Structure 1
Amino acid sequence: MKGRSLPRRGLPAAGAALTALVSLAGLTGLAGCSSADASEDRPRLKVTGAFMPQPVGDMASGFLTVTNSGGAPDRLTSVTSDVADDVTIHETVDRRMRQVASFDVPADGELRLERGGSHLMFMGLKKSPKVGGQVSVELRFEKTGPIEVDLPVKEPTYHPTRH
């Protein structure tokens, strides 16, 4: 076997195939980089700190924070839940509450729905959520798909900054 060489036919075709494979891998790598860059130009939403104080009547409020780590803004446009006939979004300005059509979720920022400020409003409760239970909601956004969140039901006086 020593001193023998392999025939050369087929090597040019194999070399061409290898070159094409390397080129294709290089293009795929570039495409991966460009789509990673494009992902920075979209919203990336995460919901934290969600809760609902136990309601004392046929209405309830809900609070949470939506953090956007992406490079593009989004907008919370609606909320649904099977616990209420109607779930709306409200802002509070000068201690006055009013319904709004949507809330902005800024790029690299957050939307805070908290006591004394903007919040979810559940009207026409079908059942009265109790402490220790959970209320499921679906948050709908302008750009991002819906996000389902469970709001733990807390005592009526619960305030997260005091715990």
Structure 2
Amino acid sequence: MSKTTVAAAVSLALGLTGVLLTACGSDGDSNGGAAGAPELAVDGAYLPRPPTPDMAAGYLSVRNSGSGGDKLTSVTTALSDDVTMHTTEGNAMRKVTEFEVPADGELDLARGGNHLMLAKLTRQPKVGETVTLTLHFATSQPIEVKVPVKPTSYRPED
């Protein structure tokens, strides 16, 4: 074998190794392959005083200023061990297992749309109190939110 043939074979082998490593490697991203990472913040949170003693609804916005999306996967609170996420379609609520938080976008949980339901309340929250909710995400760290209890008929300004 000549030196030129050996050099060409080594060059080809190294090139193929690089291609294989690139194809098999990870870009270090854990948010489903999207470029970048989510940067989440929560605002506008409120919980209307429940009209019944055992169930409440929660509303808030999750803003994502990052270049990667995320998903809200669950919510926990000392007020209830049964917090579920719902979407409203027509006049019917439907339970969902997650909500998308798009890159450079927001997730709005509002009356008449996506929202949280807290069932089997441990106590009846009163107007003026604060309830702590912990939001859990697919890739981001949990976010603890202090949520004010508002009058039952409260509607935030648009």
Fold shared, TM-score > 0.5 on shorter chain: yes
Task: State the match for 1:70 in structure 2.
Answer: 66
Which residue of structure 1 lines up, in the alignment, with residue 136 of structure 2? 140
- Aligned pairs for 1:29-48 (under 5 A) are 41-48=36-43
**Residue of structure 2 equivalent to 1:97:** 93
In structure 1, what is the Cα distance between the partners aligned to 2:92 and 2:70?
Answer: 25
Corresponding residue to 2:57 among 41, 55, 61: 61
What is the number of residues matched between the two proteins?
A: 123
Inter-partner Cα distance in structure 1 for 2:92 and 2:68: 30
2:137 is the alignment partner of 1:127? no
Unaligned runs of 5+ in 1: 1-39
Tell me the secondary structure at the aligned position of residue 160 of structure 1.
Answer: coil
- Partners of 1:49 and 1:95 lie apart in 2 by 24
Root mean square deviation, CA, Å: 1.0
Which residue identity does 2:145 align to in structure 1?
V
1: distance between equivalents of 2:86 and 2:147?
A: 17
Amino acid aligned to 2:40: L
Tell me by how many angstroms 1:85 deviates.
2.2
Q: Pick the structure with more helix per residue.
A: 1
Q: Which runs of 5+ in 2 are unaligned?
A: 1-34
- Amino acid paired to 2:137: F
TM-score for the superposition, normalised by structure 2: 0.76
Larger radius of gyration: 1
Deviation at 1:95, TM superposition (A): 2.0
Report the CA distance between 1:161 and its aligned residue: 2.2
Counterpart AA for 1:80: T
* % identical equivalent positions: 51
1:50 aligned residue: 45
Deviations 1:48-92 (A, max 9, x none): 000000002110000000000000000000000000120011100
For 2:92 and 2:63, the matched residues in 1 are separated by 25
CA distance in 2, matches of 1:160, 1:90: 20
